[in-house]
């Protein structure tokens, strides 16, 4: 078991390609009310959690809620892929605006494993090319997270490390 220290008042970005296990990880380690998921917000604004054309509106709404939580001093976890720099930079900016620490927890599952899981899901229908692009974006990302402003960065490589991890909130 590996304990990942995370400041008790942080804005946590889960980072990982589709199928990496972000939502599963969030559900295991955080209370449901602490987790804001881009899928849930897409469903809220567009009745369809996979509607990518709703992403801008969904993230507006998600960040609005995250801002309210951070203003009230509540740990908040954002469950979205965060493989692209622009997505992470908005999250870092939001954390800074509220004077809380941005943290990143990267779930780095091999693309083949993530694809096998994704293919088995009734609620995912995109092609392998989408996953390949996410993987490419993630690879470029990994070295940069500290420079982008994340003060806490944890990278979990592979299924075993992901499953063995627990979160330790630091006062």
Residue numbers at the binding site for ligand CTP (CB under 6 A): 16, 18-24, 39, 81, 117, 121, 124, 163
- The DSSP output letter for 169 is E
Q: How far is the CB of 53 from ligand CTP (least distance, A)?
A: 17
Q: How far is the CB of 91 from ligand CTP (least distance, A)?
A: 16
Q: How far is the CB of 33 from ligand CTP (least distance, A)?
A: 18
Q: How far is the CB of 109 from ligand CTP (least distance, A)?
A: 8
DSSP character string of 44-98: HHHS-TT-GGGHHHHHHHHHHHHHHHHHTT--EEEES---SHHHHHHHHHHHHHT
Rule CB under 5 A: say whether 84 interacts with Mg ion: no
In sequence order, the β-bridge partners of residue 12 are: 77, 103
Choose, by CB under 5 A, the member of 7, 23, 49, 113 that binds Mg ion. 23
How many residues sit close enough to Mg ion to count as binding (CB under 5 A)?
A: 2
Residue among 158, 129, 128, 154 at smallest CA distance from 142: 154
Place of tokens 């599952």: 109
Which partner, Mg ion, ligand CTP, none, binds residue 60 by CB below 5 to 8 Å per kind? Answer: none
Which partner, ligand CTP, Mg ion, none, binds residue 102 by CB below 5 to 8 Å per kind? Answer: none
Which partner, Mg ion, ligand CTP, none, binds residue 6 by CB below 5 to 8 Å per kind? Answer: none
Residue among 18, 29, 15, 50 at smallest CA distance from 119: 18
In sequence order, the β-bridge partners of residue 157 are: 108
- The DSSP output letter for 34 is G
Rule CB under 5 A: say whether 24 interacts with Mg ion: no
For residue 65, how many other CB atoms are within 10 A of its CB? Answer: 13
Q: Which is nearer to Mg ion, 23 or 34 (CB)?
A: 23
Q: Which is nearer to ligand CTP, 9 or 109 (CB)?
A: 109
Rule CB under 5 A: say whether 55 interacts with Mg ion: no
Contacting positions for Mg ion (CB under 5 A): 22-23
């Amino acid at each position: 078991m590996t304990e990942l220290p995370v400041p008790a008042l942080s804005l946590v970005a889960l980072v990982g390609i589709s199928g990496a296990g972000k939502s599963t990880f969030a559900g295991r380690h955080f209370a449901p009310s602490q987790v804001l998921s881009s899928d849930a917000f897409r469903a809220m604004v567009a009745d369809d959690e996979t509607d990518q054309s709703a992403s801008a509106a969904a993230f507006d709404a998600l960040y609005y809620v995250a801002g309210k939580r951070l203003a009230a001093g509540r740990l908040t976890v954002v469950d979205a892929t965060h493989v692209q720099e622009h997505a992470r930079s908005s999250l870092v900016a939001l954390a800074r605006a509220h004077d809380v620490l941005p943290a990143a927890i990267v779930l780095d599952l091999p693309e083949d494993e993530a694809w096998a899981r994704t293919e088995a899901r009734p609620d995912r229908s995109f092609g392998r090319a989408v996953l390949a692009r996410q993987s490419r974006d993630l690879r470029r990302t990994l070295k940069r997270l500290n420079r982008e402003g994340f003060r806490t960065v944890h990278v979990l490589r592979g299924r075993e490390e992901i499953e063995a991890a627990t979160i330790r909130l630091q006062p």
